[in-house]
Amino acid sequence: MITLKDVVKKFGKTIAVDGVSFEVKDGENVVLLGTSGCGKTTTLRMINRLTELTSGVIEFDGKNIMTIPPEELRRNMGYVLQHHGLFPHYTIAENIAVVPRLLKWPDTNIKQRILELLEQVHLPETILALYPQQLSGGQQQRVGLARALAADPPVLLMDEPFGALDAITRNNIRKEFSGLEVLKNKTIVFVTHDVGEAFDLADRVLLMDQGKIVQQGKATELLFHPQTGFVSDFFSSQRMQLELHSVYLENILPFLQIAKEENNATVIDKKKSLWEAIELMQSDPTRKLKVIDTHSDEMKMVDYSSLFTGLEAFKTKSP
C-alpha cells in the first residue's frame, strides 16, 4: 500500500530523515517509534506531503506520490493529530463532514455517514450541534478520528493521537481504539514515543533514531532480541513490565512443575500473559495458580518464583 525507498529529508543543513526505507502492507498497522526529534513525525508527514521529501521515492498504491496532486493524495489518507485540530468555528457535525463536503457528497449521504461514524467511535448523537471546545479531551480525539475516517480512506496516518491526553484517559482510549471495528481493515501508520502504545497497537514496530530506522519487527522481537545497544536501552526503563505483558503462560509451560492433585488453586487459561497471571495470583489466598498444558495434557502449577524462573528460562532458550 505504502512504500518508502531511501527517503531523505533535510531542513537546511540538518538531516531530519536519513535514508529511510520500509513498506506498509494492506491492512497492516505500523508504528513509528522513537524519541522526540528522531524523524518519525517528519517521515509520517512526507507520506501525505505535508512535508516534501528531499530525495528518495514514496509510493502509494504503486504510484509515486509526487505524481498525485497533494490535495487528492490527502483525501485518501485520514490524518489524526496530537492536538485534534478540530475547527473551533464548526460544530461537531460540520467538523466530521469536512472531507465529504470537499468531495461534494450529497447532504443526505453526509448525514447518514456522520451517524454511522458516531456509533463506530462510541460518541452520543447529542454532541453533533456542540462546538469542539465544549467536549472533553477524549471526546475531541474521537471526533478527530471520526473526521479522519469520514470519507472512508484506505489509509490512516496518526501523529501521536493520544499525546495530549492525561495518562488515564490515554490508556482507556488506547484500549478502546485497538478494539474499534472500523480500524480493523485500515492500513495505519502510527507515530508515537510511548512504548506501551506501540506494543498494544502495532503489527510491526519501526524504531527510529537520528533519522534512521534502527530496528524493525514485531514488538516482542525488539524487546527480546535488540540488535543494538540503543534498542535495548530504549526499552530498559519499562523492560520488566513489557516482558510480563508480552510473554504468555504457554511460553513458559515447559519450565513449570506438574501440579499435585490435592492442590485447590485457581485454574488460569494458558493464553493469559504473565502480567495477568500475577494479578490473579495476588487475589488468590494460596498465591498459586494451575494451568493446563494441552500438549502433555498435564496440570502444571505456577507461583511467583516458578513464574520468574520460567521467564528467565524462556528468554535464554528462545532463538
Q: Which is nearer to another protein, 81 or 205 (CB)?
A: 81
CB 305, CB 281: distance < 8 Å = no
- Nearer Cβ to another protein, position 49 or 245? 49
CB of 280 to another protein, least distance (A): 43
Output the smallest distance, CB 18 to another protein, in A.
Answer: 24
Residue closer to another protein, measured from CB, 89 or 295: 89
Minimum CB separation of residue 306 from another protein in Å reads 51
Going across the sheet that includes 257-258, the strands are 257-258, 298-303, 288-293, 266-268
CB of 185 to another protein, least distance (A): 21
Amino acid code (one letter) for 41: T
What's the closest the beta carbon of residue 38 comes to another protein, in angstroms?
20
H-type helices in 167-257, by residue range? 167-179, 195-201, 219-224, 229-236, 239-246, 249-252
* Count of all residues that appear for the chain in the document: 319
Beta carbon of residue 71, minimum distance to another protein (angstroms, whole number): 4
Cell of 3: 512504500
| Nearest to 182, CA basis, from 136, 228, 150 | 150
249 contacts 268 by C-beta, under 8 angstroms: yes
CB 17 within 8 A of CB 43: yes
In DSSP terms, 266 is beta-bridged to 289
The residue to which cell 496518526 is assigned: 158
Between 44 and 249, CB nearer to another protein:
44
Judged by the rule CB under 8 A, the positions of this chain that interact with another protein are 48, 50, 70-75, 79, 81-89, 98-99, 102, 144, 147-148, 157
Q: Which is nearer to another protein, 148 or 207 (CB)?
A: 148
Give the separation between CA 147 and CA 237, rounded to whole angstroms: 36
Residue 100 or residue 310: which is nearer to another protein going by CB?
A: 100
- Edge to edge, the sheet with strand 55-60 lists 14-24, 2-11, 55-60, 63-64
